[in-house]
């Protein structure tokens, strides 16, 4: 079986960072390096017994054939059904400490006792790190996050297909729920219906923010959706580990002229931003276009705009967010977009009469422009009042 | 708002262990200490941006009023809807490092710079631990797992109600899926139907193992369920963070005499084990009763038995498992059961003709005996062939 990701790209990243090997311990990076495999038993719940499930993937620079996987005894039969591409699989671990000990043994077997090993410090449990340090006292441990995030920046066709599907299904689920909701359901009930609709469509439903106008509160609550009111749905779900995150608007009965106006303002900013997404352009261009469009809106002061990369994590490379809204470094604001990068683009407007108004779109950079995923139903979705 | 858990019990556990404060960082213990609250946005996916969501609860011994919570800016509106019982809430953290810095600041404000602080090492990220050590250089960090597991050992009536509901709903979902499956569905399709059925019933579906006889493979696969064959379903799901984990058997058409026989053997072991569950008796008694019953079965050599505590983690106090099956220390084998303890009791039998046969039941210790949760449909659930 050939490696499911671009090992030359990883080798190059490791080389530039002067790193000999990388150890993935986050669910998303383990799954990425294994080409989509995740042991279904621990897909949601990790805690068990006196510890937790800690799958590990180790990768040695320039030696993809030496890649190893550490898992749990219960997953042996899953692996027998579809063997992994890696060179070595050890499913003996029931605890974080056992996973770390097996990882250290695998690195030792590869002669990496004195290597520089990149680890995911936010996803490496303290007790596992202690075992690695004890068992590999001459190794040097550095942060793996920039390397693995960069590795995932350009999505392959199979990844784009999953991102397209999850976006399509989230929007279809939101439309289905809006059109069938009827009057008087609370935003909590509506969010629960979105969860069920996404699940029925084969997705893993992650969350649903729901606001019923005029209240701007997006936490699902007892707020009822009433005739003539707006409904803002913003839902995240995943398919094969790939995240969709889109926002759409519903109205119980025909939208008022003011409702039409505010959604048009939001859409105007979205379109301006989306038009700036293409190969060679930058996050700076996207923000500049969006903010210029926003400046031309009569409700500019109550609007806000965000764009960020997305994939297996809901904010990933390219990191574009403004630190005023989400405090991640906007380190890629001036980096040219490349085909295969995927962005989430979001504009919101809080109106005292209409409530919370938002569109969020998924846009992939293509060879000759861009492609939006799940791009249906961006206008008011009208439910029978 | 009064504390949702028994603070005197926690104070006593901390006192015995000579620990001044405890820091919870696992999703299940944070939720437990907050009386069920969990920020819905990060209920499934924790990774975001350049780090991950890391909620923290700090508790000072004998000072429940000093309990603090560290969360994310996005959860402010959720907390405004239903304030927490804790004395201090800080929702400023977007990263593990920021959560740890806010935690260290809160401990410093309580004068705990030189305290012994118990942390969940398997659930404390390495970079967060490094911040705690740097910011609290005179503090001593010890393992919190035994303390927090013991705190949760005796379930309150509200916890028992959730455990009862989740068990009832899992069994109802499995029955619904079995009775409506029809011939030829694969175990992958059946497991997916269980996931949807559990979600529709308001649960968070965690996993579903599914075997269609005569194959003993429990990983959902392309194996079809055919007329005359058995179906073993073993599914975990949660409600409000409380776990249900039950196994039931289906048959496409009436079960054969051999099928009736093997399920009766499994049931015989289950009944013997369950009869030994009552206040003052022990895990040793349960295993002794089960193994004696198993010894009387003609298929004893192909049967296995496990019992374990359960609650917000699928294997928790009392720890009873046999290290030959699940390698956790059976540290509570001789500890008397107390009312409010909840056990999962499981017997399986692998038969070359029938396939994988299993019952798993949830049994709570009560004042005057025991109560089984989700105790319906323990016989063959017959689907129209």
B242-270 pLDDT per residue, tens: 999 999 999 999 999 999 999 999 999 99
Q: Name the stretches of chain A with pLDDT < 70.
A: 322-330, 385
Chain A nearest CA to B178, separation (Å)? 17
Instruction: Say how far apart CA B230 and CA B242 lie, in whole Å.
Output: 29
Is the pLDDT score of B327 beyond 70?
Answer: no
pLDDT digit string (tens) for B37-89? 999 999 988 998 889 999 999 999 999 999 999 999 999 989 988 889 999 99
Helix (DSSP H) and strand (DSSP E) numbers for chain A: 10, 16
Is the pLDDT score of B13 beyond 60?
Answer: yes
Instruction: Say how far apart CA B265 and CA B267 lie, in whole Å.
Output: 5
Specify the pLDDT at position A56: 98
Instruction: Say how far apart CA B245 and CA B235 lie, in whole Å.
Output: 6
Is B326 in contact with A94 (Cβ distance < 8 A)?
A: yes
Nearest-CB residue to B127 (from A42, A122, A217): A122
As given in the structure block, the two tokens for residue B365 are 């210790």
Residues 274-303 of B with CB under 8 A from A: none
Nearest-CB residue to B48 (from A50, A200, A315): A315
Specify the pLDDT at position A50: 87
| Contact assessment for residue A5 and residue A35, using Cβ atoms and an 8 Å cutoff | yes
- Whether chain B has a CB inside 8 Å of the CB on A134: the answer is no
SS3 assignment, position A65: strand
- Whether chain B has a CB inside 8 Å of the CB on A50: the answer is yes
- Whether chain B has a CB inside 8 Å of the CB on A218: the answer is yes
Q: Between the CA atoms of B312, B313, B318 and B321, what dihedral angle is there, to the nearest 10 degrees?
A: 150
Is B123 in contact with A44 (Cβ distance < 8 A)?
A: no
Chain A residues with CB under 8 Å of B243 CB are 45
Provide ipTM, 2 decimals: 0.96
Residues 6+ apart with CB under 8 A from B96: A121, A122, B51, B52, B54, B125, B127, B128
- Whether chain A has a CB inside 8 Å of the CB on B85: the answer is no
Is A206 in contact with B44 (Cβ distance < 8 A)?
A: yes
Which residue from A minimizes the CA distance to B315? A49
Q: Which helix (H) or strand (E) holds A290?
A: helix A283-295
Is B128 in contact with A119 (Cβ distance < 8 A)?
A: no
> Residue range B277-282: average pLDDT?
98
> Residue range B117-126: average pLDDT?
98
Chain A residues with CB under 8 Å of B51 CB are 122, 145
Choose among B293, B228, B269, B286: nearest CA to B360. Answer: B269
């Amino acid at each position: 079986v050939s490696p499911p990701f671009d090992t030359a790209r990883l080798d190059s990243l490791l080389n530039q960072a002067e790193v000999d090997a990388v150890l993935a311990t986050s669910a998303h990076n383990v799954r990425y390096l294994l080409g989509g495999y995740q042991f279904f038993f621990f897909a949601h719940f990790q805690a068990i017994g006196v510890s937790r499930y800690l799958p590990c993937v180790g990768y040695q620079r320039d030696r993809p054939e030496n890649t190893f996987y550490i898992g749990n005894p219960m997953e042996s039969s899953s692996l027998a059904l579809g063997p992994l591409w890696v060179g070595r699989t050890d499913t003996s671990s029931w605890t974080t400490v056992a996973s770390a000990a097996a990882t250290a043994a695998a690195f030792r077997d590869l002669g990496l006792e004195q290597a520089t090993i990149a680890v995911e410090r936010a996803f490496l449990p303290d007790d596992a790190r202690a075992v690695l340090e004890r068992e590999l006292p001459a190794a040097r441990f550095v942060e793996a996050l920039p390397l693995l995030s960069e590795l995932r920046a350009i999505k392959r066709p199979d990844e784009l297909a999953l991102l397209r599907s999850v976006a399509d299904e989230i929007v279809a689920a939101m439309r289905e729920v809006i059109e069938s909701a009827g009057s008087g359901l609370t935003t909590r009930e509506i969010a629960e219906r979105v969860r069920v609709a996404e699940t029925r469509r084969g997705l893993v439903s992650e969350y649903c923010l729901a606001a019923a106008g005029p209240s701007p509160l997006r936490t699902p609550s007892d707020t009822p959706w009433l005739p003539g009111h707006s409904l803002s749905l913003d839902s995240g779900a995943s398919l094969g580990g790939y995240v969709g995150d889109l926002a759409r608007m519903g109205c119980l009965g025909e939208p008022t002229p003011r409702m039409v106006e505010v959604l048009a303002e939001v859409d105007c900013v979205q379109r301006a931003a989306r038009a700036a997404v293409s190969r060679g352009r930058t996050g700076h261009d996207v923000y500049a276009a969006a903010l210029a469009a926003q400046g031309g809106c009569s409700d500019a002061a109550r609007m806000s705009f965000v764009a960020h990369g997305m994939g297996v994590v809901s904010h990933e490379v390219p990191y574009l967010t403004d630190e005023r809204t989400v405090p991640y470094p906007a380190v890629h604001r001036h980096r040219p977009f490349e085909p295969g990068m995927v962005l989430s683009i979001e504009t919101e407007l809080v109106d005292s009469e209409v409530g919370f108004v938002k569109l969020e779109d998924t846009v992939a950079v293509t060879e000759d422009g861009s492609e939006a995923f799940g791009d249906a139903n961006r206008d008011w979705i009208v439910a029978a009042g």
